Structure 1
Amino acid sequence: MDGIPGVNKAAAATFIAGMGVNLTVFKSAKHLASWAGVNPGNYESAGKKTSKTTQGNKALKTMAVECTRNLKAK
């Protein structure tokens, strides 16, 4: 995980603690994003479309957002 931009040692430890080391339990990256709660959900009612992130693992979601903020700050 050292090669991923924006991910430091604390973030890597959080990701490993939350996801585990065996990532074969996730069918794809989309399934992992959904499980972590960082993919947008889609909802349409009366012709109005809304989108918000799905519920998921709060620690992973928080750390993923923090890593993207660190990446944008550089």
Structure 2
Amino acid sequence: MPWQQKIGYLLGRPVGISFMDGTGTSGVLCDAYGGSVYLMEYLYHTQFALKHYSYNMIQDIHPFPGCNHSGVY
């Protein structure tokens, strides 16, 4: 399924974004409008930043998988 069709389901969730140039990022998908997605990313310590990325930069968007609590910590 194209990532554009998954946007509604992914809003407010942690996601990984792969870009056309082979790089990627992760964060909480806050919004998508005006040809951009808005992602809350962790910077360091207690700082976060709301960043936006143009649709034409994005190759795919994936939700974070659930954790496997196998008892190994």
Please tell me the TM-score bracket, short chain as reference: under 0.3
Larger radius of gyration: 1
TM-score for the superposition, normalised by structure 1 = 0.26
Q: TM-score of the superposition, structure 2-length normalised?
A: 0.26
> Hey, which of these two has a bigger chunk of helix by percent?
1
